Amino acid sequence: MLALAAAITLSAAGCAGGSDAVSQGGTFQFVSPGGKTDIYYDPPAARGTVGELRGPDLMTAGKEISLDDFRGQVVVLNLWGQWCGPCRGEADDLEQVYTATKDRGVAFLGIDVRDQQDKARDFVTDNKIGYPSIFDPSMRSLIAFGGNFPTSVIPTTLVLDREHRVAAVFLRELLAQDLQPVVERVAAESQT
């Protein structure tokens, strides 16, 4: 409950006034209307995109992962840390949704923040997480969000459509039954 209150407080602090979603120059402008922790951006043509997201692969030394590696796919981005209780709680739910939707053109990409690499690797191995993560202890890869996103709320999950426009943001721990219908709906959208 304390984590939820902190997420609401932090998301409200990261708000920019105005409408539910603002698209400026093709970039994503984060707005959390009324301190909501589940935010949806529709219609698809009104969605903004995140910037260039890339960083080192958590599990493979010398390899880099980029959002561009997932062109044409719905991408679920999850900001996490092995030190984060809600992140540990949602790990199996995220893996369940990943397994259920990967054959529908859905990819998952974790962004491991404020972590030690050996502990994060052990977390991935112990939890049998099948999707890749960017290792970003300093949170530098999140510059892609241009300061328009409250990166201090962990865990956070974004659902990007096939053009990598932001369709949904969740500023809380997720259950499979919360995430899967959203991912399936976004995956079913025709490309525009």
The pLDDT value given to residue 32: 58
The pLDDT value given to residue 151: 66
Q: For 67-103, write each residue's pLDDT tens digit.
A: 999 999 999 999 999 999 999 999 999 999 999 999 9
Domain 2-188 belongs in CATH node 3.40.30.10: yes
Q: For 149-170, write each residue's pLDDT tens digit.
A: 556 789 999 999 999 999 999 9
Window from 22-36, 142-156, 178-192 with minimum mean pLDDT: 22-36
Whole-number average pLDDT of the chain: 83
Residue 192 reports pLDDT greater than 60: no
Instruction: Return d(Cα 167, Cα 64) in angstroms, integer.
Output: 25
Residue 187 reports pLDDT greater than 90: yes
How far, in Å, are 9, 92, 140, 181 from residue 20 at the CA level?
17, 30, 26, 21
For the chain, domain boundaries: 2-188
Percent of the chain with pLDDT over 90: 65
Instruction: Return d(Cα 107, Cα 142) in angstroms, integer.
Output: 18
- Our CA angle for 62, 63, 65, nearest 5°, is 145
Window from 111-120, 133-142, 146-155, 170-179 with minimum mean pLDDT: 146-155
Helix/strand/coil for 151: coil
Residue 3 reports pLDDT greater than 80: no
